[in-house]
Each structure stands twice: as structure tokens, then as C-alpha cells.
């Protein structure tokens, strides 16, 4: 009866596994590219040589020839962002670890020569790590799960860059609109201040009323400066995400897209997020890998080092001696409790992190969904109610001015009020599109922080009363 058969089969399977381990042609990047296209219908390229970099640059230059849409900006960022290109190398590192874990460790060889009188003896031995061979399938499975986790992490990073770029584009276009509105406002403020100065000079205007107009002009000039500052910040943030060195090449449209006629229905938005969020898939893979690692630690608790070797001794005076040797670590001082305890703690930590991620995912998608509907209602109210009312008031005041029922200062104050309403409309439209981008991101991962600057308009009623 042969006892070593199961061990031999395990060794043969491990040898087969180690022999099959190799690097993939694309380093696992094909899955990242396909997952990205499935989510946002955009191309992502890992430019690893000069030829691919030249193709990417040609495509980027073609997109930069015209004002960028939000989709164009996202595509440029996915092709050209240097930080993303650097992150892709994490996939190569993870694949190298996976392949290394699936390959056999190199055998050891030793040779020795000893003499005793006229006798010369040669000792040769070949040995390899039997413990690593027997645990090779488990180690390979652990690294495969970690590789899949890295792949999903990179896909999530791609999608987060796409969302951040879209939001940066929205903020930059809105900042351009706001700056233009403030430039229009400064013209009205300047006209009011000049008229007040002339009327005060001939005694038809009090110094208090003149000071109010001058104060409004000063406040408006400050608002213009802040709007230009916000425009520059938003534009440069977008340029950084695009990976474009020359900021002058980035052209933007003059205004944000129109609001949609209605919001698309999203039934079971929480369940949709639980099914598709990549961070949930990542923590699940991490938990599975740590569970396998815990099992491995328990199985190798007492014997962590086990080597099997064959020896050959030859002498010029004695027959050749052949044999084998087994060496292992004696668990006298370390019984493996520390390794098992550490593995158990890592596994429990991963389970709690997975629970936290699931709770956060549900909350984030609920928050993003509610915020989208709220911002849509606000933006529509401003567009459909506030702006038409301001326009009607302006038309009525113009009729009264033509009939000499109101003065020029009332007309200027009304123009300021209308410009302030336009600025509110720009901000509400911007906030809606930012909320829409956050919801799309919340369905696949944690949305990033939205960085925008609200430019407060100058008071619109500075010259209203006299």
C-alpha cells in the first residue's frame, strides 16, 4: 500500500499550476478598458510606448481644436491625465505578484568536498521548499483575488477621474458665465455712479444717495474681481485634470447645457448601487482573500518551513551513497499563534470595513438621488418662475420710464436685480449638473467632493429708493 500517492498528486497539481503561470499580453488592462466603456462609453488607453503616446496625443489635439463639451473633456482626461497613466502601473505590480505566487520557488543546490587521508569525498544535495509547493494553490488563489481587487480599484479610479473632470468642466463653464454677468453688472453700476456724481454736482442729488451709488459700484467691482478669480481657479483645475500643459488650448462653450425636460426614472436606486458599486466588489474580494489567508495561516501554524531534498555522496574509496533529507522548523518558541491572531484580526477588520462600505453606499446614493431631485426643482423654479418675473418687471419699468413715471435710477436698479437673477439661474443650473454627476458616480463608487466657488452678487437695490 502506497501512502505517498495523495502527496504526489498534490505536488503534480502544484507543478502544473506553477508551469502555467505567465503574464498576460495586456497586463489585465483590457478588463479595465472594457469595464470603463460599459459604464461611461469612453475609451481609456494605457500608453506604454512612444507609438501609443503619439496616437493619444493626436487624438487629444483633435479634440482641443474646438470648444470642449463635457464628454470631450472626460475623454481627454482619460487619455491624457498623467496621474491616471501612473496609476495603471499598479496593475502591472499586482500581476507580477500574482504570477510570482503561482510559480515554484527555485530549488537549492549545495556541493561540498572533504578529504580524509587519501580519501576524497564529494557531497551533493538538491532541495526545494515542500511547504510552498503544497500551499501553492492557496497562495495563487489569494493573489488572484488581490489582482482582481486591484483591477476594480483602477476601474473605480478611472470612473472617479471621469466624474471629477465632468464636474470641473461644469464649474468652469458656470464660472465663465458668472464672470460675464458680473462684467455686465459693473457697466450698470458705473453708469449709475457717474450719473449720481453729475446730479450731485449740480445740486439735484443728495450726498447720501450719491454715496450709495458709489458704494454699489465699489461692491460690484469687488464681485467682478472675485468672479474672475473663481473663473481662473475653475479653469486651471480643469486643465490639470485634462493633463494639458498649455491652458490656452482649452476652449469652453459660453454656457451650460439646458435643463432636461424631465429626470429619468431610477427605480430601486439603492439596489442598483449595491449591485454595481465597485468599492463593494473590492471589499468583498479583500474579505475573500483574507479568509483564504487565514485558512493558510491555520494550516501552516506549526510547520511554516518544510524542505525536501535529495543527496548524493561519492568517494574515491567507497561506493556512491544516495539518500534524501527532510528539514523543518521546530515550533519550540513560536507555535504560530501570532500569525493566526494577526490573520484573524485582519479578516475581522475587513468584515467590518465591508459592512461600513455597504452602509455608506446606501446612504450616499440616497443622498445623491434626493439632492438631484431637489436641485432640479430649484433650477426649474428659477428658470420658469423667477427669470420670467424679473423680465416682466423690467419691461413694465421700461414702459413707465418712457412715460416719465419712474427715473433712470429705478431703471438701473431693476437692471441690477435682473442680472442678480441671471446669476442665480447660472448657479442653480450648475448645481443641478453637479448633482447629476455625483449621482452617476454614487452608483459605481463614493462620489468625490464638489469644489465650487459661489460669487455673491452686489446688492441689487442700492439705488432703488430716493
Residue range 7-51, pLDDT digits in tens: 444 444 444 545 456 777 777 788 888 888 988 899 999 888 889
pLDDT tens digits, one per residue of 424-463: 999 999 999 999 999 999 998 888 766 555 655 555 554 4
Set of cell numbers at residue 275: 449591485
* Mean pLDDT within 191-199: 77
Q: 99 CB contacts (<8 Å, ≥6 apart)? A: 21, 22, 23
Provide the whole-model pTM.
Answer: 0.81
The answer to whether residues 125 and 312 touch, using CB atoms and an 8 Å cutoff, is yes
Give the number of other CB atoms < 10 A from CB of residue 384.
11
Q: 253 CB contacts (<8 Å, ≥6 apart)? A: 67, 68, 69, 173
Q: What are phi and psi of 39, to 5 degrees?
A: -85, -45
pLDDT tens digits, one per residue of 79-138: 999 999 999 888 888 888 888 777 777 787 788 777 877 777 788 787 777 777 777 787
Closest CA to 167 of 238, 249, 247, 77: 238
pLDDT tens digits, one per residue of 52-85: 899 999 999 999 999 999 999 999 999 999 999 9
Question: Can you list the domains of the chain with their CATH numbers?
Answer: 5-442 (1.20.1600.10)
pLDDT tens digits, one per residue of 321-351: 776 666 656 555 555 667 778 778 888 888 8
> Is pLDDT above 90 for 275?
no
Amino acid at each position: 500500500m502506497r501512502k505517498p500517492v495523495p502527496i504526489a498528486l498534490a505536488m503534480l497539481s502544484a507543478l502544473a499550476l506553477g508551469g502555467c503561470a505567465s503574464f498576460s499580453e495586456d497586463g489585465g488592462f483590457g478588463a479595465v478598458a472594457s469595464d470603463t466603456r460599459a459604464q461611461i462609453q469612453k475609451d481609456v488607453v494605457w500608453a506604454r510606448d512612444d507609438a501609443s503616446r503619439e496616437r493619444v496625443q493626436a487624438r487629444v489635439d483633435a479634440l482641443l481644436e474646438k470648444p470642449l463639451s463635457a464628454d470631450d473633456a472626460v475623454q481627454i482626461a482619460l487619455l491624457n491625465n498623467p496621474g491616471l497613466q501612473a496609476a495603471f502601473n499598479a496593475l502591472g505590480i499586482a500581476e507580477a505578484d500574482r504570477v510570482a505566487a503561482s510559480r515554484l520557488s527555485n530549488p537549492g543546490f549545495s556541493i561540498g568536498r572533504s578529504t580524509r587521508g587519501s580519501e576524497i569525498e564529494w557531497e551533493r544535495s538538491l532541495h526545494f521548499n515542500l511547504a510552498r509547493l503544497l500551499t501553492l494553490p492557496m497562495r495563487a488563489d489569494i493573489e488572484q483575488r488581490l489582482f482582481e481587487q486591484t483591477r476594480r480599484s483602477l476601474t473605480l479610479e478611472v470612473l472617479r477621474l471621469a466624474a471629477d473632470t465632468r464636474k470641473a468642466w461644469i464649474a468652469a463653464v458656470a464660472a465663465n458665465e458668472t464672470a460675464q454677468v458680473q462684467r455686465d453688472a459693473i457697466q450698470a453700476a458705473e453708469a449709475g455712479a457717474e450719473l449720481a456724481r453729475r446730479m450731485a454736482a449740480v445740486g439735484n442729488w443728495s450726498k447720501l444717495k450719491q454715496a450709495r451709488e458709489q458704494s454699489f459700484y465699489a461692491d460690484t467691482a469687488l464681485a467682478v474681481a472675485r468672479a474672475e478669480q473663481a473663473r481662473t481657479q475653475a479653469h486651471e483645475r480643469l486643465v490639470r485634470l485634462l493633463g494639458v500643459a498649455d491652458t490656452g488650448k482649452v476652449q469652453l462653450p459660453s454656457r451650460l447645457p439646458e435643463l432636461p425636460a424631465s429626470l429619468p426614472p431610477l427605480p430601486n436606486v439603492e439596489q442598483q448601487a449595491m449591485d454595481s458599486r465597485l468599492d463593494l466588489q473590492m471589499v468583498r474580494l479583500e474579505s475573500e482573500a483574507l479568509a483564504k489567508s487565514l485558512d493558510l495561516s491555520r494550516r501552516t501554524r506549526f510547520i511554516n518551513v518544510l524542505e525536501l531534498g535529495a543527496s548524493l555522496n561519492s568517494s574515491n574509496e567507497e561506493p556512491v551513497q544516495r539518500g534524501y533529507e527532510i528539514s523543518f522548523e521546530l515550533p519550540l518558541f513560536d507555535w504560530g499563534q501570532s500569525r493566526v491572531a494577526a490573520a484573524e484580526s485582519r479578516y475581522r477588520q475587513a468584515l467590518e470595513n465591508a459592512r461600513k462600505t455597504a452602509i455608506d453606499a446606501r446612504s450616499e446614493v440616497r443622498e445623491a438621488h434626493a439632492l438631484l431631485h431637489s436641485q432640479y426643482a430649484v433650477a426649474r423654479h428659477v428658470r420658469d418662475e423667477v427669470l420670467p418675473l424679473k423680465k416682466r418687471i423690467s419691461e413694465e419699468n421700461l414702459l413707465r420710464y418712457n412715460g416719465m413715471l419712474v427715473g433712470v435710477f429705478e431703471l438701473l436698479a431693476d437692471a441690477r436685480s435682473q442680472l442678480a437673477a441671471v446669476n442665480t439661474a447660472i448657479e442653480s443650473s450648475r448645481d443641478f449638473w453637479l448633482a447629476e454627476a455625483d449621482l452617476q458616480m454614487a452608483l459605481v463608487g463614493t462620489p468625490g467632493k464638489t469644489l465650487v466657488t459661489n460669487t455673491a452678487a452686489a446688492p441689487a437695490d442700492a439705488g432703488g429708493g430716493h
